[in-house]
Amino acid sequence: MQKFLTKVANLRQRRLFSRKEKLAALERSFERRAEREREEEAEQEDAAVEDVDLFLTEKADAPIETIDVTYPVRPPFQFAKIKYDADLMELVYTPIDVTLTEQEKENLNAISLLLDNIRLDPAILLKGKEEHLREKVVEIIEKYGIELKRFQREKVLYCLLKDFTGYGPIEVPMNDRYIEDINCDGPGVPLYIYHRIFESVRTTVCIDELELNRFVLRLAQLCGKYISISQPITDASLPDGSRINLTLAKEVTRKGSTFSIRRFKQVPISPVELLKYGSVSAEQLAFFWLLLQYNKSILVSGSTAAGKTTLLNALCMFLKNSAKVVSIEDTPEINIYHSNWIQAVTRVGFGRVAGVGSASSGLESGLSGFFGILKRPGDIVLYDLLVAALRQRPDYILVGEVRGEEAYTMFQAISIGHPSLGTIHSGSLLELLARVESRPMSVPRPLLASLDCVAFTAIVSSDSESDSESRRKVRKAREVVEILDLNLKTNELRTNVVFSWDSQTDRFIFKKSFLFDSIERDFGVKTGLLREEMQRRAALLDRLCRLGITDYKEVTRAIQSYYLRPDETYEKFLKKSDEARVV
């Protein structure tokens, strides 16, 4: 009897395992199917984006008087229209949003009133968690039996989400992937946007004074910041990573409240994507790749909106996965695909600036202080973050923008062997020297000589045609300069222009690198081998571009694979057909 019971138990156990295995197999099958569907949707979306890119680029090359384009932003509800206005004699951007019938408006108002009586988690709403609000709206619709067809429900949900968790009057521009900047110069003044293809464009959006004051307060709240009459200026980051500057009322801006939003891509731009845009050459990228591999320090310099941070983010993809990276910034802009990364940001303290406002000091209160030295209690500035970063044994330090007393410490770190990357505002080497050597940076020239390389970015015309209306502005890494050493007799830096951009041919010309000699001295790698390796890596990056492999994850995977198995990776991509893609 015992044997029989044991046999039955074993049979049941086998059936149980068999059932579990079947369920597991079905689950794996469903996961694979869902993954294929997501990949197909992503491919369709990429194809649609490329079609819109091509369409807008062709329209932008046409005479300005003929421009009249409409393209999707977030279909089926959001579209954008750009048309030449003969009276204004300029392009005008019109956001096209959803329209509601009278019945839909009544339903929307009813649901809004009911939402006022429901406790919504403000922390979740501030983070833009749409699912939280969506659940509450669906709950109200079902509870009170509000009759809405499926598409009507989506329209009402969209409007509520826009009002509660969106950006109100600038919802469409904030979702438009082609817009880089959104600027409001005051109440009753049309907003201006900077379009990636059509450049600076006037909009039809105007905000009155009362609404603008409320909107500025709401934007500050979304950023988790405080703005008031006593502190009417705020710099912050929106939940999507965009950088924003706010002013409130007429305290510091005569017209009234203003805001300026610099939008950043949430998905990092890869170096191959910059190569595709023509912002850099494959040889330049390969050169930077080698410098980073051999612990050289690079500064990216240029004017406002010249692509400094974008290039810095792209260069960080050449770092090894195992490298420890610490970034320090005022406003979070650095966005790199790296797991071993500490992202540090400054913090504004509370109360008065130390020593300011007392009868003995004779100083008046101010936000900036003198050269950024005066601090409030609790202030954490870039200098503090940099000192902390040096104690964390980083392989690379990233400084979002070098502009204050932290520059002295950063160059000291470089001089004792801590490789660093950073950005700075200057258009040429002379401007760079003037900025770095003067207050508040006050970096002596011998320390500046410890920097290895400076990449100068600029916004330039896309071609050499005489008709200014047919020329579009693009970003280029127009010059790469090596800093070799300091002449002790003349106190002048010895430099070498290793890359320069020829505006007539739109080509990046490579000359000679003396940093290769430095690498040979420090690491024992022959200069000839370094030049060959640079050409090989340039060929690999160019091949990735031709294959259409621009996604940051795929590019990072290819770069890390090259570190591990260079010959195998090189042959793998060069043998791929132009139609192939990385799986």
Q: Would you give the DSSP letter of residue 353?
A: P
> Look-up: residue for tokens 């040979």?
520
Long-range Cβ contacts of 566-569 (<8 Å, 24+ apart): 569/540
Q: What is the DSSP string of 68-89?
A: EEEEEEETTTEEEEEEEETTTT
Per DSSP, what are the bridge partners of residue 233?
247
DSSP 380: B
- pLDDT attached to residue 13: 59
Which residues, including other chains, have CB under 8 Å from residue 57's CB and lie 6 or more apart?
A: 197
The rounded distance, in Å, linking the Cα atoms of 262 and 307 is 12
Looking at residue 166, what is its pLDDT? 80
145: left (phi over 0), alpha (psi -120 to 50) or beta: left
Which residues of the chain fall below pLDDT 70? 1-50, 118-130, 349-376, 462-472, 577-583
Q: Which CATH architecture does the domain made up of 170-262 adopt? A: 2-Layer Sandwich (3.30)
Instruction: Report the distance separating Cα 338 and Cα 313, nearest Å.
Output: 10
CATH architecture for segment(s) 271-346+381-575: 3-Layer(aba) Sandwich (3.40)
- pLDDT confidence of residue 107: 84
Are the CB atoms for 385 and 328 separated by under 8 Å? yes
Phi, psi of 204 (to 5 degrees): -90, 5
Q: Which residues of 427-463 are buried (b: 16+ CB within 10 A; e: fewer)?
A: eebeebbebbeeeebebeeebbbbbbbbbbbbbbeee
Strands of the 90-96 sheet, one edge to the other: 68-74, 78-85, 90-96, 199-203, 192-195, 179-184, 258-262, 243-247, 233-237
Give the pLDDT score at 212.
96
The answer to whether 164 and 116 have CB atoms below 8 angstroms apart is no
Q: pLDDT digit string (tens) for 105-123? A: 888 888 888 877 766 555 5
* Pure H helices in 340-460: 382-390, 406-415, 429-437, 445-448
Domain segments of the chain: what residues? 102-166, 170-262, 271-346+381-575
User: Do residues 423 and 401 make contact, with C-beta atoms less than 8 angstroms apart?
Assistant: yes
Q: What residue type is assigned to position 22 of the chain?
A: K
Three-class SS state of 164: helix
Residue-level pLDDT at 348 = 74
Candidates 242, 237, 246, 241; CA nearest to 262 is 242
pLDDT in tens, 499-555: 999 988 999 999 999 999 999 999 999 999 999 999 999 999 999 999 999 999 999
- Short-list 258, 236, 263, CA closest to 247: 258
Is 83 within 8 Å of 92 (Cβ atoms)? yes
Signed CA dihedral, 267, 269, 272, 276: sign only:
positive
The single-letter code of the amino acid at 157 is L
Q: Where are the alpha helices (DSSP H) in 191-280?
A: 209-222, 271-277
User: Which position has the token pair 């010895």?
Assistant: 494
C-alpha distances in Å from residue 154, one per residue of 128, 137, 329 = 18, 11, 40
Residue 351 buriedness (CB in 10 A; 0-12 / 13-18 / 19+): exposed
Q: What pLDDT is recorded for position 361?
A: 41
Q: From 233, 234, 232, 215, select the one nearest 224 (Cα to Cα).
A: 234
User: Which of 278, 300, 315, 271 has the alpha carbon at shortest distance from 508?
Assistant: 278
- What pairing do the DSSP bridges indicate for beta strands 233-237 and 179-184? unpaired
> What is the distance between the alpha carbons of residues 112 and 157, in angstroms, rounded to a whole number?
11
Within 8 A by CB and 6+ apart from 73, the residues are 79, 80, 95, 172, 175, 176, 177
Contact between residue 273 and residue 315 where contact means Cβ atoms under 8 Å apart: no
Question: Alpha-carbon distance 342 to 398, whole Å?
Answer: 10
**Token pair of 61, please?**
């090359």
